[in-house]
Structures are given as structure tokens and as C-alpha cells.
């Protein structure tokens, strides 16, 4: 993998934290610790609003520019695995441009 994958999750906006984004962030970090224990390939970063409030909890994965919405803690392992292994994004959670 040439570039480190960064998973940004809104934990400081107005709506995502109320919808459980802190729990999702914890689950993502746990999934990364399990699947990429040395932390060389993927990192989770908590951030401010991603302008996806209606779809929260919201995540943006870079450099792939994949946007996920309505993410639950149970989805963390699948998201991390998909981007760590270069697989297709988790389609049921992907926010399409016109959504």
C-alpha cells in the first residue's frame, strides 16, 4: 500500500455525536488495532463536521475519497478491512454524490 489510509470521523459536529459517532470512532480504532496492529497502513482521526449531517454518523476515507453514512459500531471491522486490503468499499454504507 503506497499511501496511508486515513479514516476521518465527525465527532465534534452538532449531529454526529448525538447519533453515536464517538462509539463508532472507538470501534474503528479497535478494528485498526486488531487488523493493522503496527498502525503502518491505516489511521483513524476524529474531526469536526464533514458536512454530511443528515447521514451521520459520517466517515470519509482518504485517499480513496469514499464517504460513508449512518455508520454503526458493528460496521467498523468491514470498513477497516475493505480499505486495508484494497477491496471495494462497503456499498450499503456509501453516500453517493447525489444523496
Confidence tier at 97 by pLDDT (50, 70, 90): confident
Give a yes or no: residue 98 inside a domain.
no
Find the CATH number of the domain harbouring 42. 3.40.30.10
The predicted model scores a pTM of: 0.91
Strands (E), 1-99: 5-10, 42-47, 59-62, 66-68
Confidence tier at 1 by pLDDT (50, 70, 90): very low
Strand-pairing partners, residue 47, are: 10
pLDDT over threshold 80, residue 98: no
Give a yes or no: residue 99 inside a domain.
no
Number of domains in the chain: 1
Q: Whole-number mean pLDDT of the chain?
A: 92
Give a yes or no: residue 88 inside a domain.
yes
pLDDT in tens, 23-56: 999 999 999 999 988 878 999 999 999 999 899 9
Amino acid at each position: 500500500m503506497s499511501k496511508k489510509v486515513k479514516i476521518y470521523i465527525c465527532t465534534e459536529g452538532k449531529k454526529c455525536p448525538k447519533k453515536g459517532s464517538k462509539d463508532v470512532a472507538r470501534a474503528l480504532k479497535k478494528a485498526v488495532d486488531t487488523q493493522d496492529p503496527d498502525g503502518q497502513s491505516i489511521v483513524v482521526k476524529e474531526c469536526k463536521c464533514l458536512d454530511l449531517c443528515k447521514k451521520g454518523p459520517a466517515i470519509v476515507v482518504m485517499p480513496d475519497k469514499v464517504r460513508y453514512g449512518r455508520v454503526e459500531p458493528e460496521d467498523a471491522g468491514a470498513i477497516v478491512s475493505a480499505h486495508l486490503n484494497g477491496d471495494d468499499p462497503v456499498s450499503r454504507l456509501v453516500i453517493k454524490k447525489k444523496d
